[in-house]
């Protein structure tokens, strides 16, 4: 048997063995979706391994994120000292709180004899560990959050985000904290709506206002999640027959007011430091600090090939055909590592996509469903973990 096929066979057998172990212990007891903590613990081990073994700045723009986090390791006031990228942009010019929180987390671990970038990576590992803890500690009668956590197992690209320091992991973490507040019966938000003690109402309202404030300071990419929240709440209220008059508008107003006060303070501080012409100053910084290929004033013929596609006369249809944007998105959905240089082939991405469709069919249609408990859990675990298999040998050192 050729060496390449032998390696693939051994790797597959190894994964089957691990999956059997997972299913063997996940099916004990009557816990609903009991395999979720086991699968997430397996993923957490992969995340910690990548965070521990991979070299610094072998991941997309990690040096920019680390420099922003290290700034707040030694500072409290906003600033941008030595944090600009080759594009002439600093992550500290955004309103994201992750760099302040992660910087202080790194400072607390300053006694450890490890590099600051590794301490910042441990921050993201901790975020995933907290999500794992929420799945472990849930009441067996309320599996909704475990169901909502299933997407965390769909792709190694999600796991990869937690294995090096970046702001996307924190944004995804906050999104799942919001989901927890919505679907878990004993969450802070649901207790807040039912509270009768004024101390409980005030304290819970303040905490939820802070959570809303943090959510609104995430990357703009995650604002789309707000539409999901509104759709979920609308369907829930309509399904329960709750009229507008019965909605907890007064308690919602407390949360909104707390959030608005914090946002006002944040933007007032930003205006005090940067003035009202911040956009012009940021453009001047790009012109001054960016490399030539990324400066706004650089002619199209000398600028980076992926910039200003519209000005180059490239139509949207060309993005799909000539640049194969759709195929690249599908490929990246199942794990693209490093500076998008390592990952599965397009065929590998298609196989993973097919595996997802197959599992959906098994779960959706009774005639295709596996009847025994053990095979069903095995199929589920294999579905959750299989996307990582085509990418293992391509992970960066």
Distance (Å, whole) CA 134 – CA 211? 17
- Answer whether residue 164 shows pLDDT above 60: yes
- Answer whether residue 367 shows pLDDT above 60: no
When pLDDT is averaged across residues 319-346 and rounded to a whole number, the result is: 71
pLDDT band at 138 (very low <50, low <70, confident <90, very high): low
pLDDT at 381: 46
When pLDDT is averaged across residues 318-326 and rounded to a whole number, the result is: 78
Q: Report which of residues 377 and 308 the model is more confident about.
A: 308
When pLDDT is averaged across residues 377-389 and rounded to a whole number, the result is: 45
Average pLDDT of the chain, as a whole number: 78
Alpha helices (H) in 195-242, listed in sequence order: 198-216, 224-239
Phi, psi for 33 (deg, rounded to 5): 50, 45
Reduce the DSSP state of residue 323 to 3 states and report it.
coil
Measure the N-to-C terminal CA separation of the chain; round to a whole number of Å: 28
Contact 337, 346 (CB under 8 A): no
When pLDDT is averaged across residues 187-215 and rounded to a whole number, the result is: 88
Phi, psi for 309 (deg, rounded to 5): -65, -35
When pLDDT is averaged across residues 253-265 and rounded to a whole number, the result is: 93
pLDDT at 321: 79
- Answer whether residue 392 shows pLDDT above 80: no
When pLDDT is averaged across residues 27-56 and rounded to a whole number, the result is: 82
pLDDT band at 372 (very low <50, low <70, confident <90, very high): very low
What number of other Cβ atoms are within 10 A of residue 67's Cβ?
21
pLDDT at 57: 85
């Amino acid at each position: 048997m050729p060496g390449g096929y032998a390696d693939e066979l051994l790797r597959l057998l190894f994964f089957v063995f691990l999956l059997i172990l997972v299913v063997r212990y996940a099916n004990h007891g009557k816990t609903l979706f009991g395999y979720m903590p086991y699968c997430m613990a397996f993923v957490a081990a992969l995340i910690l391994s990548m965070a521990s073994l991979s070299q610094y700045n072998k991941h997309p723009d990690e040096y920019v994120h680390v420099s922003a986090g290290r700034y707040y390791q030694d500072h409290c006031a906003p600033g941008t000292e030595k944090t600009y990228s080759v594009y002439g942009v600093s992550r500290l010019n955004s309103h994201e709180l992750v760099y302040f929180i992660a910087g202080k987390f790194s400072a607390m671990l300053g006694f450890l004899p490890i590099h600051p970038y590794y301490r910042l990576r441990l921050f993201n590992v901790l975020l995933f560990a907290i999500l794992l803890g929420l799945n472990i500690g849930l009441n067996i009668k309320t599996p909704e959050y475990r169901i909502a956590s299933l997407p965390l197992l769909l792709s190694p690209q999600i796991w990869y985000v937690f294995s090096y320091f970046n702001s996307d992991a924190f944004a995804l973490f906050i999104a799942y904290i919001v989901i927890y507040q919505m679907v878990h019966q004993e969450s802070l938000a649901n207790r807040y709506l039912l509270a009768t003690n004024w101390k409980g109402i005030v304290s819970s309202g303040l905490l939820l206002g802070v959570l809303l404030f943090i959510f609104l300071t995430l990357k703009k990419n995650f604002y789309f999640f707000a539409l999901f929240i509104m759709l979920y709440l609308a369907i829930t209220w309509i399904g329960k027959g709750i009229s507008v008059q019965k909605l907890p508008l007064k308690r919602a107003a407390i949360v909104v007011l707390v959030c608005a006060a914090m946002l006002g303070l944040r933007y007032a501080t930003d205006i005090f430091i940067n003035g009202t012409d911040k956009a012009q100053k940021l453009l001047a910084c790009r012109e001054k600090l960016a490399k030539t290929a990324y400066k706004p004033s650089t002619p199209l013929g000398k600028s980076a090939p992926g910039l200003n596609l519209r000005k180059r006369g490239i139509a949207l249809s060309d993005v799909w055909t000539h640049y194969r944007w759709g195929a690249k998105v599908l490929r990246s959905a199942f794990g693209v590592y490093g500076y998008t240089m390592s990952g599965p082939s397009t065929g590998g991405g298609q196989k993973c996509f097919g595996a997802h469709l197959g599992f959906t069919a098994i779960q959706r249609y009774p005639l295709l469903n596996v009847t025994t408990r053990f095979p069903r859990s095995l199929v589920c675990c294999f579905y959750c973990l299989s996307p990582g298999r085509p990418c293992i040998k391509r992970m960066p050192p």
